[in-house]
Structure 1
Amino acid sequence: MVRHAVGRREDVARLAGVSARTVSNVVNGTVQVSPGTRERVLAAIEQLDYRPSEVGRMLRSGRSGMVALVVPDLDNPYFAELARKLGEEGRRHGYTLMIEQTAGVRERERELLARADTKAVFDGLLVSPLALTDGDLSRASRTQRPVVLLGEEPHPGFDHVQIDNSVAARDAVRHLLDTGRERVVAVGAQRSQASSSSLRLGGFEEAMAGAPRASADVAYVDSFTRRAGAEATRRILRGRTLPDALFCFSDLLALGALRALHDAGVSVPEQVAVVGFDDIEDGRYSTPSLTTVSPDKAAVAGYAMAALVRRIGGDDGEPRGILAPHRLVVRESSGGEP
């Protein structure tokens, strides 16, 4: 077959013996076209190497085919893994995912959220806020573009996808108590009252309240990082009594704790059990492997993208709160099987 130069829509229509509008209907899938006509148009497209203008399609539909994901930090493996799942879900719905990082800075989060009020290049946003206030979200709830919230900051103006952080934390601590641990320290409380930290602390306290013979303590951190976990654990080890379990509010905190315990010659889990939260891939390969709360990232991504696509498609129903499942994955750091 002789291949012509890249053709125009009119050239395809002439070769296929149809109108230019029929060519558009075949390309965009907006109108049902008979199988025979569709085959002729596709053959002409192949022969002429016709490539529809994406810019033109955007102008006609008012959509770009792109959605934005706003997260604090892709250096955190949890957000990196969630972004990958969201990208897969986006492609399944025909969307390309753009990613913006905020470092948890309120001004940056507000700036990105404000873009939804403008003629932004994306059709909607998935936002995992750390610093936005209720007032910030209230102003943004009147946006012309759809926004779905991820994480622990619900707002009545938006669809919102999260796991039950309090119940998940309670499950993790009850696991430690059920294995005979009696001196449990929560590593991850934050004086800023960040929602994820507060909710996980609430679950910790609820579980410990059901075990009157056990003792509870709290180690504060300034961030959910390996460094913060190691520093908090070193402070704990300088105390009078060695705890027999650490419940860390993130896997990164737990990995830092494992390092500090190793450096101090404390064996895990024989002397101190460690449980994390997030089920990042690093925890599966740490030594010992890390017991952790595993949010269903695939479910979070699926629910969030489906909600955003519904809004982009014109759904103006009441905002929905969607609860994704979680499970406890027991590994070596709390005495599970290798």
Structure 2
Amino acid sequence: MKSWCVLAFLLLDFFCHGTLSCPAFCKCYAGRAEVVCNGAPLKEYPSEGLPENTTMLTIQFTNISTISEQHLEATPQLQELHLHENHLQTLPSNFLRGVPRLHTLDLTGNKLSDLPVDVFTHASLRSLVLKNNLIKEADAAWFPDNSSLTWLDLSGNHLTKIQAAFLQKLPHLETLDLSKNRLEEIPADSLEPLTKLERLNLQYNNLSTLDASVFQRLHKLHFLFLAWNKLNKVPPNLFKELTQLRHLNLEDNRLNHIPTGLLDPLNSLEEDGLDLSVNPLVCDGKAEYLWRWLQNNKKKVFQADAITCKLPPSLEGRSVTSLAESDLNPQS
């Protein structure tokens, strides 16, 4: 009789709480094979007590500082692993060997810096987020050849350069976020392997110029973010191949002029798809191209009236769209 009572209690616990066991500081949801561990008191990876059939595991806002291949072996069916806002300082090589089905790995907000060779091999990752860490160099040796990644977020790190060899391992990328780093240049051939790329974010870097051919292979690109850099000059044919581009953000750079023909290939821009605000534009004869383009494409521009002149002093603060042709060519 007592054994039946124990069994009934266990079954009741299973149906009410979704699992027969669950680590401390964690909640286990058997119906969707998900475990969520939330809270600073957790100091070690909770491998003991994790349901073996777990497919989604979130460990966030804890004091965990290490993780091993053996830890992950406790959940061989894992498909998504979210480890944001912990204290991880490094990762072991081959640590994904025990979770071959893993497709999403989020390591946002840790203290990762130097990562070992083969750190992201053994699992067919499609989404990798390394946002807001301390990474100084993106190493091609992290990945296998022909990686299946379609989404890579390296924003908020300390990158000063991005190597072509690194991106050659990632031919299936559709989204690449390199914003909020310290990039000073994008090598001309570095983006060539990314023929499937649809979204590229380079905001908040230190880019002062771009090679004319840097985007030439990105025929599927829909979104390009270049705001908050130090761009002072761009080649007139920079966007020549970006005929599918829907959104382009050049806000808050150091552009004095928009070269003739620069915006002509961008026939796919959506309404409010272009942002050129907060640039120190010189409204002289060289600005006539931009002035005419804005007259014909005002609906494609986000806050077109916010595109203003910096020089000459007589036109400072004037919206480019409000000018007359005689303002740009006063001697004619």
- Determine if the TM-score, normalized by the shorter chain, exceeds 0.5: no
TM-score (norm 2): 0.29
